[in-house]
Amino acid sequence: MNPNAVREYLLHLQSSIVSRMESIDGGTFIHDEWQRAEGGGGISRVIENSKVLERGGILFSHVVGSKLPPSAAASRPEIAGRPWEAMGVSLVLHPRNPYVPTVHMNVRFFIARADANKASGEDVFWFGGGMDLTPYYGFDEDCVHFHRTNKDALDKLSPAYFPRYKKWCDEYFWLKHRNEPRGIGGVFFDDFHDGGFDHAFALQRAVGDAFNHAYAPIVERRMNTAYGERERDWQLYRRGRYVEFNLVWDRGTHFGLQSGGRTESILASMPPHATWRYNWAPEAGTPEAELLAKYVNGRDWL
């Protein structure tokens, strides 16, 4: 197990994604370093009110703690409360143009250290991550491209991974209180340690390295599409769903807050503007209704 190699990779990944997004947007991400009282810290790279990105956060963190929070030990309750170490890159990009989808990506590495009170205890590690796309207007070409890029990346390790983690993504990014998905999905995995450290680390790199290829072409294809007040209003309404998921259901948000993480960085995933309406639905036959009926439904795009 080599945590330093993971850290070096994650820092490089953050820089490569920032560079690619800056080349598209023309603006500059601020560089904000922070320290955590209990141990560790991070680097937040954030852009706001720019040409293409209304808000974007590409965040690196490497933190340690004395007691693993319940949100990080949901599938292994026996390790809750152990000393722990976590590092990762998490990003959310909220474009200004409603025809450009919002995107989320996260790759992370956890170590639950051996319990000093148990002679038989040993360090436990796992990787997690994935990416998912949340469009406001549907385009088959974009959906197929996003899923195809993820499949090609995972197929290099195992043809079983994409269908398994595509399904997991559809199930995870689900708003239970509304009985609807957040977007068109992608891939998601957690508690992954199959094949030992090297193989599990390779899966993390496969996802991280695929991000620019999966998302940047979609942004470049849609960012100059003309739009008006109607499209903007729909975008803000759908962003409300994004906020609901992140605050109510997302384990990453819960872990960050439960572990005493930096709130300003954790909530950088929130859109700068969002709206809610009471008991409203788009009119049948509109592009907005088509998004819900045809695109946001967990379908197999490949």
Contact (Cβ atoms closer than 8 angstroms) between residue 59 and residue 265: yes
* Catalytic (active site) residue 213: no
d(CA 183, CA 128): 20
d(CA 243, CA 39): 29
d(CA 279, CA 69): 36
d(CA 113, CA 125): 8
Extract the tokens encoding 83.
């000393």
Distances (CA, A) of 38 to 85, 251, 262: 11, 21, 11
d(CA 181, CA 153): 24
Extract the tokens encoding 65.
């703690």
Question: If DSSP codes are grouped into helix, strand and coil, which group holds residue 30?
Answer: strand
d(CA 155, CA 147): 12
Burial class (CB in 10 A: 0-12, 13-18, 19+), 139: middle
Torsion of the alpha carbons at 196, 198, 200 and 203, rounded to the nearest 10: -150
Options 62, 104, 147, 254, the catalytic residue = 104
Active site residues: 104
